């Protein structure tokens, strides 16, 4: 079996972000910063570190700040240059994808994650691709998507990043019915979107990182509705079981669900503690505030 390289990544960024109102009233939720970097930039940098060459955003109304973020900002650059602010210049430009490496398409109706991914079908074409949900932020030595593409180079087929969650949280995620395990890989026997805790086949949940074969578009094309009356990516993947290899990867690292307020706050603290310029200050604040509180 020849395994084709993953060159393209899809970033569904059309969601409304109602859980973060009022912060997201006029700003995309993907632009919320963890320390000083928007969530979407973490996702794009992670994709690039995994060898991704083309970045496909599925946007929606009110998301133009994301396009502006991944573009030059001449006025700001000129000002910083005239003041010789090299560090700041690097902070706004050195991570920009090359011209022509970014494409945007719009999900015109909010019909679910599966529909958002389907909107990217013509830009993806007939090759394997990654999907990254910016809400899920992973702190790890080796970028999570890199761990996945390495696993994929061994297994082929579809690969999803998985982790155990408390049973009472199974109704927030796609949950695996796990088959045999080999090291950090687990075969996917079944997959169900947001099952009630008492019905969940396990507590192994999908996080927002996928390596997918283009055949998934064939199922999405049918526009079948699933959980929450939405077109679910999970259902399209479940239909691939038995058709091509399908594995869950227990990735190394800590995942923060930044779609959730507490998860977002935890991410800010954890990422700040990773930073030399902030560690001491934040650490002492956390220690003292907790004891005083
Ligand atoms: C989506 C997927 C779900 C997955 C989750 C990861 O759910 O549908 O299967 O577990 O992302 O964050 P959403 O967060 O869009 O409700």
For the CA of 15, the closest atom of ligand 1 is 15
| Cα(54) to centroid(ligand 1), Å | 23
From CA 82, how far away is CA 241, in angstroms rounded? 57
Report the pocket of ligand 1 as residue ranges, CB < 6 Å.
Answer: 113, 133, 135-136, 173-174, 193, 205-208, 232-234, 259
Residues 175/140/57/226 CA torsion (nearest 10 deg)? 0
Residue 119 has pLDDT above 70, yes or no: yes
Q: What is the pLDDT of residues 262-279, one digit of tens each?
A: 999 999 999 999 999 999
Determine how many CB atoms are found less than 10 A away from the CB of residue 160: 28
Cα of 150 vs centre of ligand 1, distance in Å, is 23
Q: Is the pLDDT of residue 293 over 60?
A: no
What is the residue with the minimal CA distance to atom 9 of ligand 1?
174
Q: What is the mean pLDDT of residues 108-116?
A: 94
| Residues forming beta bridges with residue 175, ordered by sequence position | 192, 205
pLDDT at 136: 97
pLDDT for residue 282 is more than 80:
yes
Average predicted confidence (pLDDT) for the chain: 94
Query: Measured in angstroms, how far is the CA atom of residue 236 from the centroid of ligand 1?
Result: 13
Ligand 1, atom nearest to 257 Cα? 12
CA–centroid distance, residue 208 to ligand 1 (Å): 6
Mean predicted confidence (pLDDT) in 24-41: 95
Backbone angles phi, psi at 183, to 5 degrees: 60, -125
For 125, counting Cβ atoms within 10 Å of its Cβ (0-12 exposed, 13-18 middle, 19+ buried), the class is exposed
216-234: average pLDDT: 93
Q: How far is the CA of 113 from the centre of ligand 1 (A)?
A: 8
pLDDT, average across residues 178-191: 96
Nearest-atom number in ligand 1 for the CA of 205 is 10
| Among 31-40, 70-79, 118-127, the least confident range | 70-79
Which residues share a beta bridge with 37?
A: 34
List residues bridging with 187 in a β-sheet: 247
pLDDT value of residue 144: 98
Where on the phi/psi map is residue 241: left (φ > 0), alpha (ψ -120 to 50), or beta?
beta
Q: What is the CA(187)–ligand 1 centre distance, in A? A: 19
Indicate if the pLDDT at residue 164 is higher than 70: yes
**Closest-CA residue to 209 (of 102, 284, 134):** 134
- 226 in Cβ contact with 209 (< 8 Å): no
Percent of the chain with pLDDT over 90: 83
Supply the pLDDT for residue 167: 97
Specify the pLDDT at position 16: 83
Nearest CA to ligand 1 atom 7: 173
Give the architecture-level CATH label for domain 8-259.
Alpha-Beta Complex (3.90)
Joined together, the tokens standing for residue 27 give 């700003």
Q: Which atom of ligand 1 is nearest to the CA of 193?
A: 9
| Residue with CA closest to ligand 1 atom 11 | 208
Q: Quick one: pLDDT at residue 292?
A: 65
pLDDT attached to residue 1: 59
Nearest to 164 by CA among 137, 200, 212: 200
pLDDT for the residue 128: 98
Name, in order, each residue with C-beta under 8 angstroms of 54's C-beta and a sequence gap of 6 or more.
7, 8, 9, 101, 102, 103, 123
With cut-offs at 50, 70 and 90, classify the pLDDT of residue 91: confident
Ligand 1 centre from 8 Cα, in Å? Answer: 20
C-alpha distances in Å from residue 77, one per residue of 31, 68, 92 = 20, 14, 8
The Cα-based distances of 236 to 98, 131, 226, 243, 244 in angstroms read: 32, 14, 10, 12, 13
CA 112 to ligand 1 center in whole angstroms: 10
Atom of ligand 1 nearest to the CA of 206: 10
Report pTM. 0.95
Pocket test for ligand 1, best of 17, 174, 204 (most atoms within 8 A of CB): 174
Going by their DSSP bridges, the two strands 204-212 and 158-164 should be labelled as antiparallel
Q: Domain residue spans in the chain?
A: 8-259
């Amino acid at each position: 079996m020849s395994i084709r390289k993953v060159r393209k990544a899809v970033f569904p960024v059309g969601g409304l972000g109602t859980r973060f109102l009022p912060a997201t009233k006029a700003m995309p939720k993907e632009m919320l910063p963890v320390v000083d970097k928007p969530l979407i930039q973490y996702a794009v940098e992670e994709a690039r570190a995994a060898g991704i060459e083309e970045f496909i955003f599925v946007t929606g109304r009110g998301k133009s700040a994301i396009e502006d973020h991944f573009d030059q900002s001449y006025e700001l650059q000129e000002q910083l240059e005239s003041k010789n602010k090299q560090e700041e210049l690097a902070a706004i430009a050195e991570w920009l994808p090359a011209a022509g490496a970014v494409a945007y398409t719009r999900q015109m109706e909010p019909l679910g994650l599966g529909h958002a991914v389907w909107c990217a079908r013509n830009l993806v074409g007939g090759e394997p691709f990654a999907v990254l949900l910016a809400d899920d932020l992973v702190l790890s030595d080796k970028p999570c998507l890199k761990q996945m593409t390495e696993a994929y180079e061994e297994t082929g087929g579809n690969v999803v990043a998985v982790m155990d969650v408390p049973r009472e949280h199974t109704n927030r995620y796609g949950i695996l019915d796990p088959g045999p395990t080999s090291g950090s890989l687990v075969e996917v026997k079944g997959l169900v979107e947001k099952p009630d805790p008492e019905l969940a086949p396990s507590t192994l949940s999908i996080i927002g990182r996928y390596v997918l074969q283009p055949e998934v578009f064939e199922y999405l094309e049918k526009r079948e509705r699933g959980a929450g009356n939405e077109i679910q990516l999970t259902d399209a993947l479940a239909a691939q079981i038995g058709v091509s290899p399908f594995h869950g990867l227990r990735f190394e690292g800590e995942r923060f669900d930044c779609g959730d307020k507490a998860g977002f706050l935890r991410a800010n603290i954890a990422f700040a503690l990773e930073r030399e310029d902030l560690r001491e200050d934040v650490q002492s604040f956390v220690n003292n505030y907790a004891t005083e509180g």
